[in-house]
Copies of this chain bind each other. A is one copy, B any other.
Amino acid sequence: MSATACPAETYRSPKRAAVLDAAGKLFLDNGYAAVSMDAVARQAGVSKATLYAYFTSKEALFAAVVANRCTAMAETLELAAVHDAPLDLALRRLGRHLLDFFLAPQVVTMFRIALGEGTRFPDLARAYYAAGPLAGRDRVTAWMEEEKRRFRLRADADPRLAAEHFISMLRGTVLLRGALGIPPTPSEAELDAAAAAAAEVIRRAYGAESGAEPATR
């Protein structure tokens, strides 16, 4: 995002950080159009003129916020060592982990905003896609590659495709309603069931053992 370029000296200013924080909170709560620069200034405890001293326009501020939050959230997604379990169980744990991540309010809102404003701000859409979904998919792909190295996926399985399919099934099952803000919020049991269902499909389609029921059931 080129708009975030900034003199190195003012970059770490506490006021700048305050503005970025305040703007992030407001944008992620209310969307782009609904937030005025007055509100940002008030929330940050600075004047509007100061705000414009750090960010040349509302759009530039928005872009900075998105870049900031995306990388911060991506670091939340820890896939660590969940390889030490039978494939089916490991997939279920990973799936549940991913689901919780997708449904986190900040992640949902970022998704909504990126889609809603993506047309008007192409830079924003690209930055979001690269820092968000693409980075996430790459991490799950790496996980699948490790599984394949352990001969737990079929020899002809495509790890990237397996990752995409797994993520997509997780997203689709519960996320659309969540992203649209349609109640009710899915229960723990529903989330577990969604993760288990997606895990079973992946195991059947990509797992090394032919098509039999898994040991962990």
Tell me the dominant secondary structure on chain A's binding face: helix
Let me know if A120 and B31 touch, CB within 8 A.
yes
Interface membership of A113, Cβ < 8 A: yes
Interface membership of A1, Cβ < 8 A: no
Cα distance, A169 to B126, chains bound together (Å): 22
| Residues of A in contact, count (CB < 8 Å) | 44
Taken residue by residue from 145 to 181, chain A's Cβ proximity to chain B (1 for < 8 Å, 0 otherwise) reads as 0000000000000000100110111011100110111
Let me know if A180 and B210 touch, CB within 8 A.
no
Supposing A31-B120, A211-B204 touch, asked if A164 and B168 sit within 8 A by C-beta, the answer is no
Stretch from A2-10, A13-21, A193-201 at the B interface: A193-201
Give residues of chain A (107-146) contacting chain B, Cβ–Cβ below 8 Å: 111-120, 122, 125-126, 128-129, 133
